[in-house]
Structure 1
Amino acid sequence: MIKDLPENNVTDIAVAVALEGENAQSKIFHVYLINLKKEPIENVLITSKGYGEKDGEQVKTSTLRHMFPVVPNGSYKQIELIDEQTFGLSNEYWVSYYIGNQIYDKKFIFLPESIIDSNFIKLPVVNKPGVMIR
């Protein structure tokens, strides 16, 4: 049955963690979905969770779900605020969306310690410093 499903490759969609600002105590980060396509994506569903090992113990965060009716082409949507303390975990974002009547989905995973200043780029469309997975 699975072999009968079309292979819909996800391209020109990115998930990014952007630095929003900082103060003496901490930095503020948000996670964004970036649509780099030439067409809008619709019925976008994103689940997010963190998991891994911290201080020798297995840790899992809550699973959060986010829904956007439409993400226009060449634009972005803020998914959530992310706490710096979770950067030592794997942070997973599973994105599903439609173009027409075709469904697409892809899992984006920020590995532990990958969200660091030395990996920052200027994020397209969002125009903020951060880390992006395409």
Structure 2
Amino acid sequence: MKKDIEIPEVKDVYVAVVQEEHLEYKTQDWNAYIINNSDIDLDTVLIVSQGYNDKKMTPPMRHTLAKLPARSYAKIEYLQEKVLELNNSFKVSYFEGNQMFDKTYLFRKNTINAKALQTVPLMQLKGVLVK
């Protein structure tokens, strides 16, 4: 039965963590974003994020986007500095037409840092990207 289930490969959808200036507090904050770099709109985007290691686990955070248009991005959440010391996973599920897609994006502990910054597609900002 399991061999009959077709799980399509996720392409052109990424999660990035970007360091941005918070204008009100004059701080540099880390924010997670989902990026749709495809030509197709994504419907009913569900995201479950969680930080963990051998000894600690954050509560899961659940986010929903009704639609993420083609060639766009949306903010998922703010990441506190302490959470960057943990593995951070983002489980993303969405629909393209009638087909469901699912992928887990993992930022390993301490990989979100200023030394790991690269240009993030569509955003024209520097961040840490998981494809």
TM-score (norm 2): 0.93
Displacement of 1:98 in angstroms is: 0.4
Rounded to whole Å, the distance in 2 between the matches of 1:75 and 1:25 is 27
Rounded to whole Å, the distance in 1 between the matches of 2:130 and 2:35 is 10
Look up the SS of the partner of 2:53 in the other structure: strand
Displacement of 1:17 in angstroms is: 0.2
Q: Hey, what does 1:19 align to over in structure 2?
A: 19
Size of the aligned set, in residue pairs, is 130
Look up the SS of the partner of 2:59 in the other structure: coil
CA deviation vs aligned residue, 1:11-42 (integer Å, no higher than 9, x gap): 10000000112799953111000000111111
Q: Is the 8 A contact 1:121 1:129 kept in 2?
A: yes
Matches within 5 A, 1:50-89: 50-53=51-54, 58-89=55-86
Structure 2: gaps spanning 5 or more residues: none
Letter in 1 for 2:9: N
Question: Taking structure 1 as reference, are residues 44 and 22 closer, same or farther at Cα in structure 2, changes over 3 Å only?
Answer: closer
Q: Aligned match of 1:122 in 116, 119, 122?
A: 119
TM-score (norm 1): 0.91
C-alpha RMSD of matched pairs (Å): 1.8
Displacement of 1:114 in angstroms is: 0.6
Q: Is the 8 A contact 1:33 1:77 kept in 2?
A: yes
Rounded to whole Å, the distance in 2 between the matches of 1:95 and 1:22 is 26
Q: Give percent identity, aligned residues only.
A: 32
Rounded to whole Å, the distance in 1 between the matches of 2:85 and 2:12 is 27
Displacement of 1:44 in angstroms is: 0.4
Look up the SS of the partner of 1:132 in the other structure: strand
Rounded to whole Å, the distance in 1 between the matches of 2:61 and 2:26 is 26
Displacement of 1:117 in angstroms is: 1.3
Q: Is the 8 A contact 1:27 1:84 kept in 2?
A: no
